[in-house]
Amino acid sequence: DVRHGPILYLEDVTVSFDGFKAINDLNLTIDDGELRCIIGPNGAGKTTMMDIITGKTRPDHGSVWFGSRHDLLTLNEPEIASLGIGRKFQKPTVFEALSVFENLELAMAADKRILPTLTARLSGEGRERIDEVLATIGLGELRQRPAGILSHGQKQWLEIGMLLMQRPRLLLVDEPVAGMTEQEMERTAELLTGLAGQQSVVVVEHDMGFVRSIARTVTVLHQGSVLAEGSMDQVSSDPRVIEVYLGA
Ligand code: ADP
């Protein structure tokens, strides 16, 4: 498993809604193992961009490649997910009545395309994977507790863990720290930076302090295309970025 070059490649992608270009000639390359932050004002096209990658929205034109082999525009949503592209929406959607462990078990069962029943006996390998993921998300101690008792932050980590059960190659994460305490944000920064390298992680986030704490490369979207790209220091001192954010 050699890691080099782009894992995700969007070229000249345009999406219109009733003639309005939500995405306008967007070019974006994500490298294998990279942690990338996408920022931009409301309406910049961040959600639409994620929808294109996962196959929820079809562009008018352009191309979207995953690795060098997969033309995502020829695939439907489940096919794209099965390539190893996982998406975490802003609101956590864990199964509150089930334990932390059972949530992860269910996520694995879904991967194996067997009926997701809680009585499904897991192989030793499956249990090992759950232990690994529990350690990664820091919820080992709470494994037998119902997910409903978790804090907001812990639920977000559990949901990331559920995606990790599928061993994704690319994780798309929408506003992971919205509503989190400072401490939870720090833990989330550790989690996401730890995941990068093993998989690519794309984070859409509004909290600039958080972005600064995790990002190597930041992409600023504006009116559906890339306005600036570089380190947080580079983009935050870019006059065009300042203008967009301050509305000058
Ligand atoms: P962001 O996530 O950066 O806030 P979005 O991708 O949600 O931006 O939206 C980009 C633009 O496209 C906005 O102007 C939004 O109103 C418009 N838009 C998004 N989805 C639709 C849709 N299904 N129909 C019409 N307009 C849409």
The pLDDT score that the predictor gives to residue 110 is 67
Query: Has residue 11 been placed in a domain?
Result: yes
Query: Has residue 21 been placed in a domain?
Result: yes
Question: What average pLDDT does this structure show over 194-204?
Answer: 94
Query: Has residue 95 been placed in a domain?
Result: yes
Domain count across the chain: 1
Ligand 1: centre distance to CA 23 (Å)? 9
DSSP the chain: ----SEEEEEEEEEEEETTEEEEEEEEEEEETT-EEEEE--TTSSHHHHHHHHHTSS--SEEEEEETTTEEGGGS-HHHHHHTTEEEE-SS----TTSBHHHHHHHHHHHHTTS---TTPPPPHHHHHHHHHHHHHHT-GGGTTSBGGGS-HHHHHHHHHHHHHTT--SEEEEE-TTTT--HHHHHHHHHHHHHHBTTBEEEEE---HHHHHHH-SEEEEEETTEEEEEE-HHHHHT-HHHHHHHHT-
Query: Has residue 45 been placed in a domain?
Result: yes
Task: Choose which residue among 17, 23, 42, 54 to substitute to test ligand 1 binding: the one with the highest number of ligand atoms within 8 A of its C-beta.
Answer: 17
Query: Has residue 1 been placed in a domain?
Result: no
Please report the atom of ligand 1 found closest to the CA of residue 23. Answer: 10
Question: What average pLDDT does this structure show over 78-89?
Answer: 93
Query: Has residue 93 been placed in a domain?
Result: yes
Question: Is 44 close to ligand 1, i.e. is its CB under 6 Å away?
Answer: yes
Ligand 1: centre distance to CA 142 (Å)? 38
Question: What average pLDDT does this structure show over 42-70?
Answer: 95
Tell the residue nearest (CA) to atom 7 of ligand 1. 47
ipTM of the complex: 0.96
Question: pLDDT per residue over 211-248, tens digit each?
Answer: 999 988 999 999 999 999 999 999 999 999 999 886 64
Question: Is 42 close to ligand 1, i.e. is its CB under 6 Å away?
Answer: yes
Tell the residue nearest (CA) to atom 17 of ligand 1. 22
Place 68 in a pLDDT band, splitting at 50, 70 and 90: confident
Tell the residue nearest (CA) to atom 16 of ligand 1. 43
Query: Has residue 26 been placed in a domain?
Result: yes
Tell the residue nearest (CA) to atom 21 of ligand 1. 17
Please report the atom of ligand 1 found closest to the CA of residue 57. Answer: 23
What CATH number has the domain bearing residue 84? 3.40.50.300
Range of the domain at 83: 6-246
The pLDDT score that the predictor gives to residue 118 is 45
Please report the atom of ligand 1 found closest to the CA of residue 51. Answer: 6
Question: Is 38 close to ligand 1, i.e. is its CB under 6 Å away?
Answer: no
Question: pLDDT per residue over 6-29, tens digit each?
Answer: 999 999 999 999 999 999 999 999
Question: Is 58 close to ligand 1, i.e. is its CB under 6 Å away?
Answer: no
Question: Is 45 close to ligand 1, i.e. is its CB under 6 Å away?
Answer: yes
The answer to whether residue 166 scores a pLDDT higher than 90 is: no
Task: Choose which residue among 48, 52, 225, 244 to substitute to test ligand 1 binding: the one with the highest number of ligand atoms within 8 A of its C-beta.
Answer: 48
Question: Is 222 close to ligand 1, i.e. is its CB under 6 Å away?
Answer: no
